[in-house]
Amino acid sequence: MQIRSVKLSSRLRMGAAVAAISLGAVAVGSASSASASSSVSISVASLVPGATAAATAQFNNQVKQFEKANPGINVKSVQYDWTAPTFAAELAAKTLPTVFTVPFTDGDSLGDAGQLANLTKYVKTYSWSKDFDKAAIAEGTDAKGQIVAIPEAAYAQGLEYNRNLFANAGLNPNDPPKTWAQVETDAKAIVLHDAQVAGFSVMGANDNTAGWILTTMADAFGGRMEKGIGAKAVATFDNPGAVAALTFDHNLRWNDNAMGTNFNLSWGTSNQAFAAGEIGMFISGSDVYTNMVQGFNIPAGIYGLAALPQQSSGSGASSPGELGGGTLAAVTPFASKAQIAAAVKWINFFYISPLVTKAGAIRNAKSLDDDNQPVGVPTFPIFSQKIYNQDLKWEEPYINVPETAFAPFNKSILKDNLVPEPEAATQAIYGDLDSVVEQVLTNQNANIPALLQAANSAGQASIAQASASS
Amino acid sequence: MSTAPQPAGAAPKRKRVRRTPATWVKRGGLSKFLFLLPLLLVFGLFSWYPIVRLVMMSLQFTNLVQPAKWIGLANFSEVIHDPLFLIAVKNTAEFAGLALVFGYPIPLIISVLISEVRKRRGLYSALAYLPVVIPPVVGVLLWKTFYGDSGGIGVFNTILGWVGIHPQEWIQSTSQAIPSLVLYSTWANAGSTVIIYLAALTGVNRELYEAASVDGAGLWKKLWHVTLPQLRTILLITMILQIIGTAQVFIEPWLFTQGGPANATLTVLLLIYDYAFGNSIGAAYGEAAALSLMLVAFLAVFSLIYLRATRAWSTS
């Protein structure tokens, strides 16, 4: 009886196993065919790590809306923060989300090196593809003319200032500095009132941000770090604007002692220190207020933004300008065709439709406002000026950022000369300039022209390397 | 047909058994192979294959996305002609030198002192080892506060202020940055070496100390004439391990300064990291591989010379 039962159960088990394998094969087959025909999964860059719960909830709501409007596309949001040292490794290791963002500086270089998916066919199906500002779409177009990244935001550099620290030091928060001499005077006044804070701060970290801010200041002093484009570009670090900018930093650091004690700040840590009330003034993009709210819960009312002072550095200098930049949305080169199609749909929904359609603009602005996220932070047109103005009107009812905070910037920025970032080997050029800034901030006897000349050779080598690798 | 004479006393020739897969299995070849297989797989996958890939990559241009191009020794040439290469070598040598001068004797002194105390030896050993169990990121964050790099004047400058010394810039100064990193590194790593020395000290014959005492030797003479000679093998091993470790210093400069200020703490390993990951378009993986191989070659040659030079000393 026992033996018989064993035999029976063996047969049953074998039969069940055969059935299970057959059913499994059928199930797998039908799942793969269903997945190929109707369902696709993509991951998308969401917010920077450490974003507030409200910002995360707002983003997740957008994902739900997208999935509802696009049945068959499953979206997984992934926290993302572009940094030069991690980006290329994450890309090669396939750990980036399907859709991510890169700065204007890297779009065409990555495309030329085959590191981004070709989006041309998918982008051309949208009417807005013809309306891009030519300079903006050029940043996401490779040497073969293929669209490898889609511009989604543009900004100009500005002078971020803490209105509270201004008021405490007896300065008028509605009248931020308009000249570099005033920046110095105000920085000294802030430090005189509170020696624990930095009156004026520049990014000094060895992660390309120090070089980026030096380039910004050099432009504002009438200098240019590079001339020409591509393989023909020439590094021109030793220009009168760069010398003036570094001399300004050196003076505030060593003579005025108005730059605090931390000379190793980067983009994120500058925002954090500013939101914590440790910095009176610093230079960054006109759009960083969003990060300060989402990442650091900046207290309402302390934020102020002004345009950078524009000052010529005499003979041999170019005209002063405000450095501009922007962000591109791109897709991993490892994505399948179905994923690329879904990714471009997401880019259209999340990044582009709020800029070009009334429904998209209102949906985005209302959703942000409902979750107390900033609406109305100054950006720059990536499409035509007409489309940009229309978009501003659509979102006007939802603008919730304090008007007084941005008034000084908005008042003067349109009059200023906007200057693009260096075209060739941009991030490498910034990296070569990092150590110059660090020397000036940490060595009282730094020889500024000699440092710039030495860095210029490295910069020229970086341009040569970039042109060889593309 | 003649038979060759067998030498007297020689064992008769064994009958040759023909080797077949069956005999190999029968003699335990398969089970040996199966026991060896996991080791071969793990080493092959995680050690040997990456080494082979590294050598290949040093001769290629690749961004790890598109197919690699063979470019001969161009990566090595790029590295040697890079102005940062010599800076990195100089900084690494400075770190290794300072760590040897200051960081190397300290664990020995601590372990001798601990071995001399009669009570609570376990507690002192645990205290000496404590920094080793603190994760490096936490330790560095703590020391950043000490150095005043996280805002404020810092713990060390506050203490210096009590005795009338001006605040120092520590890791934000081009001249003080490397010594500051050595200071942290000594604090963080001394505990491991202390434990090794304490273990070695228990192996020293107590009679030698008693004999030295009878001969009138004090603490210093006992240390010089008994302890150090008895520990010389372990001392030579810890020295070469320290040199190899400090030649590959990465965590300290990366977490404290990212190689700054003004490349003052850029070390060879940090330069390798920068080649591999510092460029956002990932164009220098080959150079990173080339410099890695150069470092390996240097350390291998150095270790050989060191072991040959100290062979006579290390044998008792």
Segments making up each domain of chain B, as ranges: 22-58, 76-314
| CB-CB under 8 Å, A273 with B258 | no
Residue A196 with chain B: CB contacts under 8 Å: 152
The position carrying tokens 């961004």 is B63
Question: Which one of A212, A438, A467 makes the best mutation probe of the B interface by having the most chain B beta carbons within 10 Å?
Answer: A438
Give the integer Cα–Cα distance in Å for A113 and B63: 8
| CB-CB under 8 Å, B280 with A88 | yes
Specify the pLDDT at position B14: 62
CATH class as words, domain B76-314: mainly alpha
The position carrying tokens 């810039």 is B169
Give the integer Cα–Cα distance in Å for A142 and A115: 11
Give the integer Cα–Cα distance in Å for A86 and B277: 6
| CB-CB under 8 Å, B83 with A435 | no
User: Hey, which residues does A198 pair with through a beta bridge?
Assistant: A279
Cα–chain center distance at A345? 21
Give the integer Cα–Cα distance in Å for B258 and B265: 8
User: In chain A, which among 55-114 make CB contacts under 8 A with chain B?
Assistant: 84-89, 91-92, 102, 105-106, 109-110, 113-114
Specify the pLDDT at position B19: 80
Name the minimum distance, in Å, from the CA of A69 to any CA of chain B. 33
Helices (H), ranges, A266-422 = 267-275, 288-296, 337-347, 353-356, 358-370, 385-395, 403-413
Specify the pLDDT at position A22: 38
Q: Is B158 on the interface with A (CB under 8 A)?
A: no
Name the minimum distance, in Å, from the CA of B100 to any CA of chain A. 27
Q: Which residues of chain A have pLDDT under 50?
A: 1-36
Give the pLDDT confidence of A44-81 residue by residue, as tens digits.
Answer: 998 777 777 888 888 898 899 999 999 999 999 988 88
Q: Work out the burial of residue B4: count CB atoms within 10 Å of its CB; fewer than 13 is exposed, 13-18 middle, 19 or more buried.
A: exposed
User: In chain B, which among 66-105 make CB contacts under 8 A with chain A?
Assistant: 66, 78, 83
Phi, psi of A285, rounded to the nearest 5 degrees: -70, 160
| CB-CB under 8 Å, A465 with B152 | no
Cβ-nearest to B277 among A85, A442, A458? A85
Q: Is A439 on the interface with B (CB under 8 A)?
A: yes
A333's tokens: 């080169």
Residue B152 with chain A: CB contacts under 8 Å: 196, 261
Specify the pLDDT at position B151: 64
Query: Are A391 and A154 in contact, with CB atoms under 8 Å apart?
Result: no
Phi, psi of A226, rounded to the nearest 5 degrees: -150, 145
Query: Are A328 and A104 in contact, with CB atoms under 8 Å apart?
Result: yes
Q: Is A332 on the interface with B (CB under 8 A)?
A: no
Give the integer Cα–Cα distance in Å for A334 and A93: 10
Query: Are B254 and B266 in contact, with CB atoms under 8 Å apart?
Result: no
Phi, psi of A201, rounded to the nearest 5 degrees: -135, 145
Give the integer Cα–Cα distance in Å for A148 and A330: 7
Total Cβ atoms within 10 A of residue B161: 12
Q: Is A435 on the interface with B (CB under 8 A)?
A: yes
Per-residue pLDDT of chain B (316 residues; tens, 9 = 90+): 444 445 555 555 666 667 888 888 888 889 999 999 999 999 999 999 999 999 999 999 998 888 899 999 999 999 999 889 999 999 999 999 999 998 899 999 999 899 888 788 889 999 999 999 999 999 999 999 899 876 667 899 999 999 999 888 899 888 999 999 999 999 999 999 999 999 999 888 889 989 998 999 888 888 889 989 999 889 999 999 999 999 999 999 999 998 988 889 999 999 999 898 877 777 789 999 999 999 999 999 999 999 888 887 765 4
User: In chain A, which among 449-468 make CB contacts under 8 A with chain B?
Assistant: 454, 457-458, 465-466
Cα–chain center distance at A14? 59
Q: Which of A222, A213, A418, A215 minimizes the C-alpha distance to A320?
A: A222
Specify the pLDDT at position A459: 92
Give the integer Cα–Cα distance in Å for B133 and B190: 12
Distances (CA, A) of A47 to A55, A290, A293, A295, A363: 8, 11, 12, 9, 18
Name the minimum distance, in Å, from the CA of A408 to any CA of chain B. 30
Give the integer Cα–Cα distance in Å for A279 and A268: 13
CA dihedral over A122, A124, A127, A129, signed as positive or negative: positive
Question: Which one of A94, A196, A435 makes the best mutation probe of the B interface by having the most chain B beta carbons within 10 Å?
Answer: A435
User: Residues with Cβ < 8 Å from B259, sequence gap 6 or more?
Assistant: A206, B253, B265, B266, B267, B270, B271, B274
Q: Regarding the domain with residue range A155-324+415-469, which homologous superfamily does it belong to in the CATH classification?
A: Periplasmic binding protein-like II (3.40.190.10)
Query: Are B223 and B105 in contact, with CB atoms under 8 Å apart?
Result: no
The CA-to-CA distance between both ends of chain B, in Å, stands at 59
Q: Work out the burial of residue B81: count CB atoms within 10 Å of its CB; fewer than 13 is exposed, 13-18 middle, 19 or more buried.
A: exposed
Cβ-nearest to B151 among A89, A105, A262? A262
Cα–chain center distance at B148? 29
Q: Is A442 on the interface with B (CB under 8 A)?
A: yes
For A40-154+325-398, CATH number?
A: 3.40.190.10
Query: Number of Cβ pairs closer than 8 Å across A and B?
Result: 122
Give the integer Cα–Cα distance in Å for A39 and A51: 30
Residue B289 with chain A: CB contacts under 8 Å: none
User: What SS3 class is residue A303?
Assistant: strand
Cβ-nearest to B276 among A89, A207, A466? A89
B63: nearest CA in chain A? A92
Name the minimum distance, in Å, from the CA of B67 to any CA of chain A. 10
Enumerate the CATH 3.40.190.10 domain ranges in chain A, comma separated. 40-154+325-398, 155-324+415-469
The position carrying tokens 């044998």 is B315
Q: What is the model's pTM?
A: 0.78
Specify the pLDDT at position A32: 37
User: What SS3 class is residue A127?
Assistant: helix
User: Residues with Cβ < 8 Å from A178, sequence gap 6 or more?
Assistant: A306, A309, A412
Cβ-nearest to A114 among B65, B169, B260? B65
The CA-to-CA distance between both ends of chain A, in Å, stands at 78
Distances (CA, A) of A155 to A348, A353, A354, B237: 20, 19, 17, 58
Give the pLDDT confidence of A199-237 residue by residue, as tens digits.
Answer: 999 999 888 899 999 999 999 999 999 998 877 899 999
Name the minimum distance, in Å, from the CA of B146 to any CA of chain A. 13
Q: Is B259 on the interface with A (CB under 8 A)?
A: yes
Specify the pLDDT at position B150: 67
User: Hey, which residues does A75 pair with through a beta bridge?
Assistant: A42
